[in-house]
Structure 1
Amino acid sequence: MKIAQYQASQAETVIELFANVFSDSEGADEGQVIARLVDDLITTTDSKDLIGFVATENEFVIGCIFFSRLVTANNANAFILSPVAINTENQGQGIGQKLILEGLSYLKATGVERVFSYGDPNYYNKVGFKQINDSIITAPFTLTYPEGWIAQTLNELEISKQDSVISCVDALNKQKYW
């Protein structure tokens, strides 16, 4: 397996991956919702505000993650990890964790200070994320699953109330994703 940064030439394959993975786990309607989200992220987000990583095996994309910029009240250099998809047949092999760790390492090397996500804390704790309180750091929208609001720092500074999230990129700026 190889991990590399996402390339624009992989757009169609990556969108299809997200559609298939989320259709398998959440149903066809959710697969289409997430496929549209990924398409929007790719087509509407400035390249400096979107970073993706893909896992390939025998030239086939088997996993993909995206990080997009968050704007905070104190102008911390922050991103959110969302979405993540690993080919259904390849799940449970640590591919998602490897992709996330590669992405976090890249972000840290480029000066990113904070990374947020919205997902299963039991899974994301394995790669350094911790639950955060929405009263300290406000998510861009009301959370359907407040326990899933998680973050980590990539420097020695603690996350504090001054980090309160103000906004995310346009593609994620919709209540239905929260």
Structure 2
Amino acid sequence: MTVTIERVEQIGRNPRELVPPWAYELLVKDFRKKHHSSHPYTERVIGQNLVFLKAAGKIRRESRRDPRAYVRIVPTRPVDEAWHEALQRTEVYLPMSLAFADSMIHHRPVMDDDIRSGAALARTIPYLKATGMYVDPEFWDDESGSSCCPPECNDQSGRGLLGSWGDLIPDRALTIQF
């Protein structure tokens, strides 16, 4: 009998490096509490959400300098579930958004033909890899066409529905203290 041991080399840095350890642990704890997943799975999906948000933040920064640099990238279902949990932990999510994008990284739920066809995910993968972080194939391969968003959320994706806040928010830059 011959036993072959396959060694899988992880290419890229550990996504945990993107946030302080205490913030990472809070995100892991929140996800595990709601999804009752194993600790190793939870750590990996939280890491992939951080990679996705890092890539989204880089696109956001670049598109502010040059609007033609904007490209829409999308999470897979498991990564989007981790994103939903992170959004609820505002004391982590806001500073993380500011660190990655110099602004808030908004979540606009949508399911459309771009996602269903797999084109959006195919476009996403190179941006994830460009972060230099490890892109875990379990969370990205064979996930095209997936979204946590049901069909009725299709009308929530566009900016056309967003309006002005009027006098409630000043027109000048906001200062946020931590």
TM-score computed with the length of structure 2 as normaliser: 0.35
Point out the structure with the larger helix share: 2
Q: Which has the higher strand share?
A: 1
Larger Rg: 2
Q: TM-score, normalised by structure 1?
A: 0.35
Comparing both chains, which one has the higher relative contact order based on Cα–Cα distances under 8 Å and sequence gaps of 6 or more? 2
